[in-house]
Amino acid sequence: MDFWSHLIEEVIADNTLYVVLGLLATYLIVRALAPQERPRLILTLYLAGIHVILVPVVAYLRSEQAPLYEEVRLATLILAAIASTGMLISLIFAVIMPRLHLHTPRILHDVVFGGASTVAVFALASHLGFNLSGLIATSAVLTGVIGFALQDTLGNIIGGLAMQLDNTIGVGDWIEFEGHTGRVAEMRWRYTALETRSWETILIPNASLMDGRVSILGRRTNMPRQWRREIEFHVDFFHAPTTVIQIVNEALQTSQIPNVAADPQPHALLKNLDESFGNYAVRYWLTDIACQDPVESDIRIRIYFALKRHRVRLAVPTGHVFLTDAPSRKEESARRHVNYKQQFIKEMELFSSLSDDECAALAEELRYAPFARGEHLTNQGQASYDLYILTRGSCQVLVRSGGDEKEVAVLEAPTFFGEMSLMTGAVRSTTIIAKTDLETYRLERDAFERFIQPRPEVAEQVARVLARRQMSLESALEDLDNAHAKDNLDARSWEFLKKIQSFFNLSPTRK
């Protein structure tokens, strides 16, 4: 028989056509359904390619009746067997099992592939009549020698296999080991790759992980994955601890902070009493450990703005020498600040009828109240009686209907809001959230009561402005003639006036 006849026989006998077609089908399936598995098919491609190259060599040796024919043919069949095993393992572990929601560690794929390939090779060799007893005996000796020489490497391999089989550590876990904190990106035979927040990849031998102390961050049995953290701050003894804790808790709990768990809620506590200040801490539960630094920055900003709004000063180390302005400069600074606030009061329609002296008196009652981006100024349905004058920044107005909350307006400085709650005691009708860092001034109920008690006539002016503002909102839905509108305005003003007088205990005015 000539070479070509032997080649056709070898292709049929070695199932070369089936190997090539199977590899092509496997590649297409894996590429479509499990693209992350494509790099692992490279070895299978190489083995199948060498098999295809050796088939003509085997045919040539057979046609020449060369003595190496049997050995080369065995090598060709072994390559085909290992390539077929690789294809089958890829289909099972990368395509079929994930569809059944069965996820196995990568190292198990390698173990099954190695074991199945070994069984296939020995079975094939035995079927072709090769005596393997000498090879097995020699392999036992070589295994002992290699095992002694590579005991550290074998320890890493066994450690990696053990960790993955018992799910001690998995890909995606955040761990802390010997001062290094990072996310487990990959677990290989020899090492575990740890990616840190500093964009570093640390390779830790598996045997070291097995022998050392490893902290798995944010994991607790039957609980959501979240990591408890603390941020410390100091406030001097001028302020009661209960007051400080209440201020911080309100700032952190009234508006959701990204990547911070809502349950348990973030909260403040007094940890220690130092010589001149109280040592406080905010405890919170981090849901995305990769975002620890930005989250801690957001929380510190919330703490700062909350304390600033309530005129609570952070403590400074004792023993410092403070240089303060002379009394005259302090007075000048305070006067400029009052004029600054008075300017915004004069521009407000609500207080447009006030005299300069009345505006100055009201400006004295305003309290500086900054807010950080994302903080809630008001919450719909909340009983809160403060009016806010927005002097810098912007905020969004949300209305909750049913279970949904949608944005209905954006407020840009300069403007004001909360007048209904301040004047009549009505609950908040909207939720207002800072879109940017805000500068606002807050007029509290007690402060406005001190202002309006000696000036009851202001109530009439404010009531008419409130009625006109409310009617302007309703005008889009109603078409009122001028006479009817004037009568309606008078009636609405009278209603508001009675509410204001009742809320601030003012003497009633006769209609």
State the burial class of residue 145 (Cβ atoms within 10 Å of its Cβ: 0-12, 13-18, 19+): exposed
pLDDT at 147 over 60: no
Grade residue 477 by pLDDT with cuts at 50, 70 and 90.
Answer: very low
pLDDT at 419 over 50: yes
Provide the pLDDT for residue 49. 83
pLDDT at 242 over 60: yes
Grade residue 258 by pLDDT with cuts at 50, 70 and 90.
Answer: very high
Between CA 418 and CA 430 the distance in angstroms is 9
Between CA 194 and CA 207 the distance in angstroms is 15
Provide the pLDDT for residue 145. 46
Mean pLDDT of 52-67: 80
- Asked if residue 85 lies in contact with residue 113, where contact means CB atoms within 8 angstroms, the answer is yes
How far is residue 137 from each of residues 78, 119, 120, 508, measured CA to CA in Å?
Answer: 21, 16, 19, 111
* Range name among 6-15, 224-233, 440-449, 480-489 with the lowest pLDDT average: 480-489
CATH topology of domain 169-216: SH3 type barrels. (2.30.30)
Provide the pLDDT for residue 162. 66
pLDDT at 305 over 80: yes
State the burial class of residue 302 (Cβ atoms within 10 Å of its Cβ: 0-12, 13-18, 19+): buried
101-107, long-range: CB < 8 A, 24+ apart: 105/164, 105/165, 105/170, 105/187, 106/164, 106/186, 106/187, 106/188, 107/160, 107/161, 107/164, 107/187, 107/188, 107/189
Between CA 220 and CA 253 the distance in angstroms is 24
Mind listing the pLDDT tens digit for each residue in 182-237?
Answer: 999 888 777 889 999 889 999 988 888 878 888 999 988 888 899 999 999 999 88
From the list 93, 124, 125, the residue with the least C-alpha distance to 110 is 93
Higher model confidence: residue 248 or residue 357? 248
Mean pLDDT of 147-166: 59
Q: What percent of the chain shows pLDDT beyond 70?
A: 84
Grade residue 509 by pLDDT with cuts at 50, 70 and 90.
Answer: low
Provide the pLDDT for residue 202. 92
Between CA 136 and CA 143 the distance in angstroms is 10
Mean pLDDT score of the chain:
81
pLDDT at 511 over 80: no
Provide the pLDDT for residue 356. 85
Grade residue 267 by pLDDT with cuts at 50, 70 and 90.
Answer: very high
CATH topology of domain 329-452: Jelly Rolls (2.60.120)
**pTM value surpassing 0.75:** no
Higher model confidence: residue 209 or residue 395? 395
Provide the pLDDT for residue 306. 93
Provide the pLDDT for residue 201. 93
Higher model confidence: residue 195 or residue 485? 195
CATH number of this structure's domain 227-309, picked from the four choices 3.30.70.1560, 3.30.70.100, 3.40.640.10, 3.30.950.10: 3.30.70.100
- Asked if residue 58 lies in contact with residue 69, where contact means CB atoms within 8 angstroms, the answer is yes
Where residue 169 falls (left for φ over 0; alpha for ψ -120 to 50; beta otherwise) is beta
What the block records as the tokens of 498 is 């009675």
Between CA 119 and CA 115 the distance in angstroms is 6
Where residue 295 falls (left for φ over 0; alpha for ψ -120 to 50; beta otherwise) is alpha
pLDDT at 381 over 60: yes
Provide the pLDDT for residue 165. 62
> What H or E segment, with its residue span, contains residue 398?
strand 394-401
C-alpha dihedral sign at 360, 364, 370, 371: negative
Grade residue 149 by pLDDT with cuts at 50, 70 and 90.
Answer: very low
Provide the pLDDT for residue 487. 55
Greatest CA separation found in the chain?
A: 127
Grade residue 153 by pLDDT with cuts at 50, 70 and 90.
Answer: low
Residue 315 per-residue DSSP state:
P
Between CA 277 and CA 241 the distance in angstroms is 10
pLDDT at 261 over 80: yes
Mean pLDDT of 457-476: 75
Provide the pLDDT for residue 499. 84
| Packing angle, helices 16-33 and 42-63, rounded to 10 | 170
- Asked if residue 171 lies in contact with residue 121, where contact means CB atoms within 8 angstroms, the answer is no
* Range name among 1-15, 261-275, 296-310, 427-441 with the lowest pLDDT average: 1-15
| Packing angle, helices 133-149 and 151-165, rounded to 10 | 90
pLDDT at 497 over 50: yes
